[in-house]
Structure 1
Amino acid sequence: MILGIGTDLANIDRIQGTLDRFGRRFVDRVFTETEQRKADNRADTAGTYAKRWAAKEACSKALGTGLRMGISWKDMAVSNLPTGQPVMKVTGWAAERLREMTPEGHESIIHVTLTDDHPWAQAFVVIEARPLP
C-alpha cells in the first residue's frame, strides 16, 4: 500500500547561487557527508546538490509533514547503490515519523527517483508499506 507521495522541482541555477553566496555553511547545514562527497566529485556539483535538495523536499512531503515538525534536512539522505540507483535513508525525526505512519505488521520502503534537465532538477518519492513475511 502507498503511504505517501511527494515531488519537488528545484532550480539548479538557484542552488548554484546559494552555493556561491553561502558555500560550505549551506552545504554543511543541508547535506550529509555522503551527499557532499557525491556532489563534490561530480562535474555538475550544483545539479547534484539540486537533485538531492529536491529529494529531501519530496521525502518530507511524502512523510506528510513538509520541512516542519522537527525534521532536519540531514534526517533525509540520498545515496546510490552500485548500479547508480538512488536510495533514500531517513534518521532522527523523519525515521520516527515513518515508523508512526507504517501500519503494524508492515515494513516501509522509500522509493526515490531523480532527474535533471538544466536548469531544473526533479525528484519523486513514494513511501510503500509491504506486509512482513
Structure 2
Amino acid sequence: MSAVGVGIDLVDVARIASMRLRYGDEFLKRNFCDFEIDYCGKFKSPDIHYAARFAAKEAIVKALGTGFSGGITPKSVGVKNGENGAPCAVLGDAAAKRLKEIGASKILISITHLKDYAEAIAIAEE
C-alpha cells in the first residue's frame, strides 16, 4: 500500500470547551455524529475527547485534499473506536466518493492528547 494523502491537525482543548460552553448542544450536533457525542459524553472530562475527534476530522479532510467543502462537513466525517480500541474513520457519501477519486481505499488515523492539546494524523492509502 502507498499513501495518496496525508493530513495532520492540532486542537486546543480549551477552544473546544469554550465552544461547547457557549453554544452547547448546537455546537455538538453541528460538528459531531451521534455516536461521537455518546462516546465523548461518557467521560468525566469530555472536551479532550471532543478535541481529539475534531482534530481527526480535520486531519481526514486534509488527507482527502478538500477541507470541509464539496458536501464534506464535520458531521459527515466521524471517528469510532474499532474492536481493539483503535480509532477508525467513518465517512459519509461525499467523503467516501472523494476517497475513491484520489485513488485511495481507506483512511488510517491515529489520535493523541494531553491536558491542553489533542492531535491527529490521517493517511489515505491505495
**What TM bracket, shorter-length normalisation?**
over 0.9
| Alignment check: 8 A CA contact 2:107 2:122 kept | yes
Of the three residues 116, 121, 125, the one matched with 1:119 is 116
Give identity over the alignment, percent: 35
Aligned match of 1:99: 100
CA shift at 1:93, angstroms?
A: 1.1
Structure 2-normalised TM-score? 0.95
Structure 1: gaps (5+ residues): none
In the TM superposition, residue 110 of structure 1 has moved relative to its aligned partner by: 0.9
Match of 1:76 in 2: 77
Partner of 2:111: helix, strand, or coil?
strand
Amino acid in the other structure paired with 1:42 = F
Amino acid across the alignment from 1:95? A
Letter in 2 for 1:88: A
CA apart distance, 1:81: 1.2
Query: How far 1:82 moved relative to its partner?
Result: 2.4
Where do 1:1-133 residues align within 5 Å?
1-102=2-103, 108-129=105-126
Tell me how far 1:70 sits from its aligned partner: 2.4
CA RMSD, Structure 1 to Structure 2 (Å): 1.0
Does the 8 A contact of 1:72 with 1:93 survive in 2? Answer: no
Task: Give the drift of 1:91.
Answer: 1.1
For the residue of structure 1 that corresponds to 2:38, the secondary structure is helix
Give the ranges of 4+ consecutive aligned residues of structure 1 lying more than 3 Å apart after TM superposition: none
> What runs of 5+ residues in structure 2 fail to find an aligned partner?
none
Output the CA distance in 2 between the equivalents of 1:83 and 1:43: 22
What is the identity, as a one-letter code, of the residue corresponding to 1:62?
A
Give the count of matched residue pairs. 125
SS of aligned partner of 1:89: strand
